[in-house]
Amino acid sequence: MRSAGGQVFLWRAGVLVAGLALWEAVARPLNPVLYVAPSRLPAALARVLDVRELPALPGHVWLTVQEIAAAFALAVAAGLWLGFLLGLKPRVGRVYEPLLAALYAIPSVVWYPSLMLFFGLGPASKIAFGFLLGFFPIALAVLAGIRQVPAHLVTVAVSMGARPRTVFWKVALPAMSATLVGGLRAGLALSVVGVLVGEILGARSGLGYVINYAYGLLMTGEYVVLVVLVAAAVLLIDGLAALAEARVRRWAG
């Protein structure tokens, strides 16, 4: 008899194979420009790596990575700053947190044309958009995290003579760390999305630009390869973030 876990694993693999087979079966008889069957992807991958028609990939990938890093770093700095500013002063937080939540409810893409107008088509507008998307979940996670810190623990620590620094590192941070790290992970995912959206909506360089370029020239095989690679990279980044999140959760107990 097979174990339950093994059975689930087999089912998962089966779903993946069935999905690919279905994709192949649907795409094969249809227009090959629009419907790229998976069996054509290896050849397209070779063409992407060979780089004759497409812009050289490494430079564009490196630019996108830099944009994401800059956007996320800014989002972390600003999100932590504003989150702690509002969270540690409950009166201020009561006034401004609803405003922050209302801004978060607006579909983020409405800000992009204004950012494009202000920062131009270069990397700055992508960094600004990635920053804006990553900022909100981080700030809101800090606010939610601070609310989770049990007030009596802080009172006990202070009454036993702990200094504010000690209270922060030994009491507050462990209590709020799970929420905080969850917010950082969501912020990273959204910074990545923001940079990619910016590059696809209009850019002269970067990974999104190459994707758009391939699609614009109807090099759809290359386009699908690039999309699959980027999607895999995004999932990998989020997977690493999930591992970090699990470690922090263990540390906080």
Partner 1 sequence: MTAAGRPAGFLTVLALQALSVAVVVGAWEAAVRGGLADPLFIPAPSAVARALVATGAEALPRLADTLFKTLLGYALAAGLGIAAGLAIGSRRLVHQVAMPYVVALYGIPKILVLPWIALTFGIGLGTAVLTGALFALFPIVLMIAAAARDVDPTLITVARSMGATRWQMARKVLLPAVLPSALAGMRVGMVFALLGVLLAEMFAGIRGMGFMMQRMALAFRAPELFAATAIVSALSIAVVLGLQHLDRRLGRWR
In the complex, which residues of this chain contact partner 1 (CB under 8 A)?
Answer: 7-8, 11-12, 15-16, 34, 94-96, 98-99, 102, 105-114, 116-118, 189, 192-193, 196-197, 200-201, 208, 211-212, 215, 218, 220, 223-224, 227, 230-231, 234-235, 238
**Would you state the structure tokens that stand for residue 186, as one six-digit string?**
């969501």
Is the CA virtual torsion 244, 249, 251, 252 positive or negative? positive
CB of 112 to partner 1, least distance (A): 7
Kindly write down the DSSP assignment for every residue of 87-119, as one continuous string.
Answer: HSSHHHHHHHHHHHHHHHHS-GGGGHHHHHHHH
CB of 236 to partner 1, least distance (A): 10
249 neighbors 178 (Cβ within 8 angstroms): yes
The smaller minimum CB distance to partner 1, of residues 102 and 160, is found at 102
CB of 163 to partner 1, least distance (A): 30
The smaller minimum CB distance to partner 1, of residues 158 and 193, is found at 193
CB of 174 to partner 1, least distance (A): 27
The HSE-up count of residue 144 (CA atoms within 13 Å, CB side) is 16
The smaller minimum CB distance to partner 1, of residues 84 and 96, is found at 96
> 136 Cβ partners below 8 Å, 6+ apart?
79, 100, 103, 104, 187, 190
**Helix, strand, coil abundance in the chain, percent, nearest 5:** 85, 0, 15
**Phi, psi torsion values for 224, nearest 5 degrees:** -65, -40
The smaller minimum CB distance to partner 1, of residues 127 and 211, is found at 211
The smaller minimum CB distance to partner 1, of residues 156 and 218, is found at 218
Q: Other C-beta atoms within 10 Å of 55: how many? A: 14
| Residue 10, amino acid | L
CB of 13 to partner 1, least distance (A): 10
The smaller minimum CB distance to partner 1, of residues 58 and 107, is found at 107
Long-range contacts at 222-228 (CB < 8 A, ≥ 24 apart): 222/44, 222/47, 222/48, 222/53, 222/54, 223/36, 224/36, 224/41, 224/44, 225/41, 225/44, 225/45, 225/48, 226/48, 228/41
CB of 148 to partner 1, least distance (A): 20
The smaller minimum CB distance to partner 1, of residues 6 and 42, is found at 6
CB of 196 to partner 1, least distance (A): 5
